[in-house]
C-alpha cells in the first residue's frame, strides 16, 4: 500500500469508523451498518476495500437463523498515524500481527 492510499483510508469517515469499531471485537457488516449509521452498500464497499488493503479480515463465518452464511470481520490495525517529520509527511500503520508500514507521503 502506498502512503496516499493509507492516508486516504484514515481520512475516509466510514473506513476509519469500521476499523476502529472492529478492533476489540469482530463484527458483521450488518452490525457495522446499524451501529455506525453507515448505509449497508457503503459498508460492504469499504469492507471490500479494507480487506484488499489487508486492514480488515474475515475471521469467522456464522450461520444466521435463516441459514444464511454471515462473515464476521476484525480490524487488523493496531495503530495509525499521519505526521510530519523533518519536512516529510509520513503515514505509519501498525498491524496486530506486528507488521509496521512506515510510508512517505510528501517530501520537501
pLDDT tens digits for range 45-84: 999 999 999 999 999 999 988 899 999 999 999 998 888 8
How high is the pLDDT of residue 107?
56
- The conformational region for residue 90 under phi > 0 = left, psi -120 to 50 = alpha, else beta, is beta
When pLDDT is averaged across residues 79-91 and rounded to a whole number, the result is: 85
Counting Cβ atoms within 10 Å, is residue 65 exposed (0-12), middle (13-18) or buried (19+)?
exposed
% of the chain beyond a pLDDT of 90: 67
pLDDT 10s digits, 8-43: 888 999 999 999 999 999 999 999 999 999 999 999
- CA–CA gap between residue 12 and residue 3 (Å, rounded): 14
More confident residue, 107 or 102: 102
Is the pLDDT score of 44 beyond 90? yes
- CA–CA gap between residue 74 and residue 97 (Å, rounded): 12
What band does 2 get if pLDDT is binned at 50, 70 and 90? confident
Amino acid at each position: 500500500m502506498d502512503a496516499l492510499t493509507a492516508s486516504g483510508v484514515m481520512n475516509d469517515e466510514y473506513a476509519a469508523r469500521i476499523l476502529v469499531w472492529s478492533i476489540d471485537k469482530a463484527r458483521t457488516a450488518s452490525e457495522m451498518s446499524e451501529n455506525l449509521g453507515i448505509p449497508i452498500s457503503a459498508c460492504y464497499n469499504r469492507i471490500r476495500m479494507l480487506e484488499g488493503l489487508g486492514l480488515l479480515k474475515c475471521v469467522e463465518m456464522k450461520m444466521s437463523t435463516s441459514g444464511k452464511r454471515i462473515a464476521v470481520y476484525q480490524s487488523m490495525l493496531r495503530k495509525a498515524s499521519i505526521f510530519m517529520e523533518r519536512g516529510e509527511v509520513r503515514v505509519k500503520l501498525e498491524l496486530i500481527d506486528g507488521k509496521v508500514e512506515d510510508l512517505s507521503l510528501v517530501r520537501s
